[in-house]
Amino acid sequence: MNESDRLHVEVTRRTVVEAGTTALLMAGLPRAALAAGPGEADPSTPSVTLALTINGHSHVINLDPRTTLLDALREHLALTGSKKGCDHGQCGACTVLIDGRRINSCLTLAVMHDEQSITTIEGLADGETLHPMQAAFVEHDGFQCGYCTSGQICSAVGMLSEAQAGMPSYATADLANPQPELTDVEIRERMSGNICRCAAYPNIVAAIRQSAGIRL
């Protein structure tokens, strides 16, 4: 096969479709977006000024209204405890507390939380004294690589508040019970949105049980 024949064979239907799709997408982008480099905001989009209350402190920041809460925390406020794992709300590494309720910060925009109280992993401890959930995770080795740990802990704190408020889960057997018993099955179901790729789940459950005051 000569060089001309080889080049002809490599032009497949897939490469034609990919090239055509790219051309269509590029044609639909505004000139300003095409001019912006990687990671740069579209200069045609006006920025907004937000006053965010994070870990009890007020922060006034100016950012693109499309900025997620996770990126606002990490890139604008240097609060890097909340981790960017999947960036699709599937792993839970970015979990923070909004007015006490847990939320995936990668799936929400920072502008949606003006005047709300935001708590990240950095705000759980009281000075040098660890939050009881943090201390329980340390005692029970509820982490290995540690990447998911901040999200696991924030989620666990929010989960206990939900259980105490009588919110049922898919595993709750008696929906009439105002406070369902936090069995291992209940805890695992309620924490199923937080993935530990190191598989430290038994230790995580033990840490949560201790923090909840349940006999191990």
pTM score? 0.78
- Structure letter (DSSP) for residue 117: E
Better-predicted residue by pLDDT, 128 or 30: 128
Give yes or no for residue 28 having a pLDDT over 60: no
Give yes or no for residue 32 having a pLDDT over 70: no
Contact 203, 141 (CB under 8 A): yes
Give yes or no for residue 150 having a pLDDT over 80: yes
Residue 214: the pLDDT is 80
What average pLDDT does this structure show over 17-35? 48
Sequence-distant (≥ 6) Cβ neighbours of residue 152 within 8 angstroms = 92, 95, 137, 142, 143, 191, 194, 196, 204
